[in-house]
Structure 1
Amino acid sequence: MFRRLGRVAAVAALILPLAAFSPQNPECIAPANPGGGWDFTCRTVGKLLTDTGLVSGQVQVTNMTGAVGAVAYANVASKRSDDPDLVVATSTVGITQIAQGKYPAGVDAMRWLAMLGADVGVVLVQKDSKFNSLQDLLAALKADPGSVVAAGSSGVGGWDHLRLLMLLEKAGMATDQLKSVKWVEFSGGGDAVTQLMGGHIGVVSTDIGEIGGFIQSGDVKVLGVMSGDRLEAFPDAPTAKEQGVDFEGYNWRGFYMGGKVSDEAYDGWLAIMQKLYESKEWQETAKSKGLTPIWRGGKDFEAFVRQSEENMRKVSKAIGVIK
């Protein structure tokens, strides 16, 4: 009986916030122009919230571009920090900018709501490469950081670059060696893989959603994916974790709220977002857009954001991107 009562209480705890709070004029700020990842997050999630009846009425999407999200961050912090109706789209890119001091305030300025999905980082080599496992590659780079040229779709200090370095650090590379890893930027993951296949570079670190077709065709070899579990779409690709390196490199999609919103509003939005995540509509939409559905919410998500920011800041200092 007590177990049954416990289950009932747990269900009630999840339902009550949703019943107690409902945004009156729901709005999502996309800190970029229409067509980008943050715009996609606001518009896709906003439409599904309406279609599933989780919010009443339409979710207004406001595009507020500038400085890779810093303009929106400053606006919310100074003018709308207690707005119960407002959520803001963010991602790994935003946390990278905060870690490198490019936003007007740190993570404490906001309340971090939830992550609903992510594109997962992957480490690739040529199909006939001498490296047959992630450990093979990591051992070679730890022995001689400049022995393999790495590439991805971001510049030095960008997320593709940082997550490879964080993976190496987690595997035991000394922090002062990280800056010696050779890195080349390409305009996209597909371009980087094309150069990999041509033998111009030795390894690619990028989002798996960008280059999944190359994996499916057998043109490249996957050494490891940076996720907690194997991916449904690529079940044969081993994770870094199962190869002894406990590291997850997600380019996630999520939301924050103003730092002064009430617990009622925060908990209410948290319950709404979790209901959306669990819906068939979100699961199908996320997968159709190349995302892996991944949930982190509330305190768990806030802890994840803080740890990510700390790790990124540490590596950024090590390679000289920041002082």
Structure 2
Amino acid sequence: MNFMRIFFLSVGLVLACQPAAAQPRAAECLIPSKPGGGMDLTCKLAQKALHGQPGAPELALSYLPGGVGAVAWHTIVSQRRAEPNTLVTFSGGSVLNLALGKFGDAEVKDVRWVAAFGADYGMVAVRADSPWRTLDDLLNALKRDPKKVLIGMSGTVGSQDWIKMALLARMAGIDPRKMRFVALEGGGEQFIAMQENHVQAVSGDTSEALLHTRGGQVRVLAVLSERRLPGALADVKTAREQGYDVVWPVIRGVWMGPDVREADYRRWVQAFANMEANPKFAEKRARAGLYPFSLTGDALTRYIEQSVAGHHRQARQFKLLRER
């Protein structure tokens, strides 16, 4: 046996005896808003549902608010493109902002879409001691004098919270441009502002509302779902029931940087597919105030592309599209 053959056999034996590359012990779920809103809830649900799952690392939560997701998007795309264990949470509002050009010249293909694992719905809420007890009450107050009703929302004109109220207002014969909004960073800030009476109503999402209705301080006037929702909001009428045909589902999930290796991307896609297949996940999702919605990998990417195209059409109605 010559020297080179002995050398390569020795190297092979050493490699064979080494353990396979272990999964990382920790990963990061980056939340592009302040604590307390739907983005925060999404990462916390993933954190709990992945805990103890074979092959899934522990998720550590971090926060990077700004621009209703724009700061986190540009940070990952420009500086942290290839991190194999950094996930960023998104919502239907993030997809809308992407469609409207609020992330600059960003496009769907600029990141890797991993998984969507729940959905909630738009809603409109007021303080529990508000004189408005129905959606009609609020919209009639807006019709009488839009300047006297401040509405808290996540983002600015053109955000999903703005469009939800704009659709309702238009059906009530109100010019959406005459409504007064206060732009806040995430659902947590919206409800704090309302409790302090800085705003008199909130346009947000049901999962965020559930975090605040349990204390009896908030009254949800309408949910923007096809039919009444089960659970804590079962007694709340839909906007449709009250004569306003507006339905607004909000998907929630995570994406990764564009240069993440295919093997690492597929590992995360599979981890979330396994998570959603676990019978216990449905219970965790329900406790988080979310409803079934499951897409991963390529199927999710196609859904995001279709959603962006749909938002383009809708935005033209309100002349919101940013020139590119």
2:203 to 193, 201, 205: 205
Match of 2:90 in 1: 90
2:194 to 192, 195, 203: 192
Aligned pair in 2 of structure 1 residues 206, 148: CA closer, same or farther (>3 Å)? farther
Match of 1:48 in 2: 49
Using the aligned pairs only, state the percent identity: 23
AA paired with 1:122?
M
In the TM superposition, what is the alpha-carbon distance from 1:296 to its structure 2 partner? 4.0
Aligned pair in 2 of structure 1 residues 63, 212: CA closer, same or farther (>3 Å)? closer
Q: Residue 151 of structure 1 contacts residue 161 of structure 1 at CA under 8 Å; is this kept in 2? A: no
Match of 1:257 in 2: 256
Unaligned runs of 5+ in 1: 1-21
Query: Residues of 2 paired with 1:113 and 1:162: CA distance?
Result: 27
Query: Residues of 2 paired with 1:121 and 1:226: CA distance?
Result: 5
AA paired with 1:306?
V
Aligned pair in 2 of structure 1 residues 94, 271: CA closer, same or farther (>3 Å)? same
Deviations 1:34-67 (A, max 9, x none): 95655664454245324132x34x2454747364
Q: Residue 73 of structure 1 contacts residue 103 of structure 1 at CA under 8 Å; is this kept in 2? A: no
In the TM superposition, what is the alpha-carbon distance from 1:179 to its structure 2 partner? 1.0
In the TM superposition, what is the alpha-carbon distance from 1:155 to its structure 2 partner? 5.7
Unaligned runs of 5+ in 2: 1-20
Aligned pair in 2 of structure 1 residues 261, 210: CA closer, same or farther (>3 Å)? closer
After TM superposition, the structure 1 = structure 2 runs for residues 11-160 of structure 1, keeping only pairs within 5 Å, are 24-25=23-24, 27-32=27-32, 38=39, 41-42=42-43, 44-53=45-54, 55-56=55-56, 58-59=57-58, 61=60, 63=62, 65=64, 67-68=66-67, 69-78=69-78, 87-95=87-95, 97-98=97-98, 99-103=100-104, 105-124=106-125, 132=134, 134=135, 146=146, 149-154=149-154, 156-157=156-157, 158-160=159-161
Deviations 1:117-164 (A, max 9, x none): 3453322467886775x46766886x7783872512446435433321
How many residues align? The count is 287
Query: Residues of 1 paired with 2:305 and 2:196: CA distance?
Result: 37
Aligned pair in 2 of structure 1 residues 254, 305: CA closer, same or farther (>3 Å)? farther
SS at match of 1:163: helix
Q: Residue 123 of structure 1 contacts residue 225 of structure 1 at CA under 8 Å; is this kept in 2? A: yes
Aligned pair in 2 of structure 1 residues 60, 135: CA closer, same or farther (>3 Å)? closer
Moved over 6 A (4+): 216-220, 260-265
Match of 1:284 in 2: 283
Stretch deviating more after TM superposition (87-96 or 73-82): 73-82
Query: Residues of 2 paired with 1:83 and 1:213: CA distance?
Result: 32
Deviations 1:160-218 (A, max 9, x none): 3332124445x4869xx32112334674325426749xxx84x5423344545886788
Query: Residues of 2 paired with 1:77 and 1:117: CA distance?
Result: 25
SS at match of 2:237: coil
Q: Which of the pair has more CA radius of gyration? A: 2
Q: Residue 152 of structure 1 contacts residue 161 of structure 1 at CA under 8 Å; is this kept in 2? A: no
TM-score normalised over the length of structure 1: 0.63
In the TM superposition, what is the alpha-carbon distance from 1:30 to its structure 2 partner? 0.5
Query: Residues of 1 paired with 2:64 and 2:191: CA distance?
Result: 24
Q: CA RMSD in A?
A: 4.7
In the TM superposition, what is the alpha-carbon distance from 1:248 to its structure 2 partner? 1.0
AA paired with 1:49?
L
In the TM superposition, what is the alpha-carbon distance from 1:275 to its structure 2 partner? 3.4
In the TM superposition, what is the alpha-carbon distance from 1:292 to its structure 2 partner? 1.5
Query: Residues of 1 paired with 2:31 and 2:217: CA distance?
Result: 36
Match of 1:180 in 2: 178
Query: Residues of 1 paired with 2:209 and 2:63: CA distance?
Result: 30
